[in-house]
């Protein structure tokens, strides 16, 4: 498992990295939010551990930015702030799990492994072969279009245009 640890406490980050490496994982570290965001955006990680209170850009800001740019890497929020409102806020901005300091390393490791088992969000999705909108369906491989079970014959240009429209339902598109 490849982990990015974004933690401003150098001793805590070292402890975490040492434990991860001793467990057979690869860990990278950033000590402030901006550096962590740059690393997370420029490399691929299996999971991110982000401290909530960071200099430069706080942990929630890092998560918001990652999610806004489409990064779906699982995030474990790590924080000394442990009341219910703090935990809920951490999850609502895009964190996938929340662990309150102090913590047992074994629990941190178990949570990280659980997050990575849930799937590989940054893995490419299988190509879509069927598009549907209400009662209209399009088979991209068979190049067939049906509405209410009745086949509709389309010219190649019409087929491509309909495909674009079905991929962006209820959106206004320009040329």
Mean of the pLDDT values across residues 132-161? 89
Reply yes or no on whether the pLDDT at 127 is more than 90. Answer: no
At residue 121, the pLDDT reads 47
Average pLDDT, the chain: 89
Give the pTM: 0.68
Strands 26-30 and 150-152: unpaired
Q: Please state, for a pLDDT cut of 90, what percent of the chain lies above it.
A: 69
CATH 3.40.605.10 fits 2-117, yes or no: no
- Cα angle: 102, vertex 105, 106; to 5 degrees: 130
Report domain extents, the chain: 2-117, 130-167
The rounded distance, in Å, linking the Cα atoms of 35 and 3 is 15
Calculate mean pLDDT across residues 123-132. Answer: 64
- Residue 113 has a pLDDT of 93
pLDDT at residue 170, rounded to an integer:
78
pLDDT digit string, tens, across residues 6-17: 999 999 999 999
């Amino acid at each position: 498992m490849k982990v990015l640890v974004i933690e401003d406490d150098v001793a805590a980050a070292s402890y975490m990295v040492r434990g991860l490496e001793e467990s057979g994982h690869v860990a990278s570290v950033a000590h402030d939010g901006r550096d962590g965001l740059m690393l997370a955006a420029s490399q691929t990680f299996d999971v991110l551990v982000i401290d909530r209170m960071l200099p430069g850009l706080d942990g929630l800001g890092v998560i918001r930015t990652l999610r806004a740019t489409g990064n779906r890497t699982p995030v474990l929020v790590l924080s000394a702030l442990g009341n219910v409102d703090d935990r809920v806020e951490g999850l609502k901005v895009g964190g996938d799990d929340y662990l309150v300091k102090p913590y047992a390393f074994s629990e941190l490791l178990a949570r990280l492994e659980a997050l990575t088992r849930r799937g590989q969000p940054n893995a490419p999705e299988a190509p879509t072969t069927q598009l549907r909108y209400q009662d209209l369906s399009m088979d991209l491989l068979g190049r067939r279009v049906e509405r209410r079970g009745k086949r509709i014959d389309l010219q190649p240009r019409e087929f491509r245009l309909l495909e674009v429209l079905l991929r962006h339902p209820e959106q206004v598109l320009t040329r």
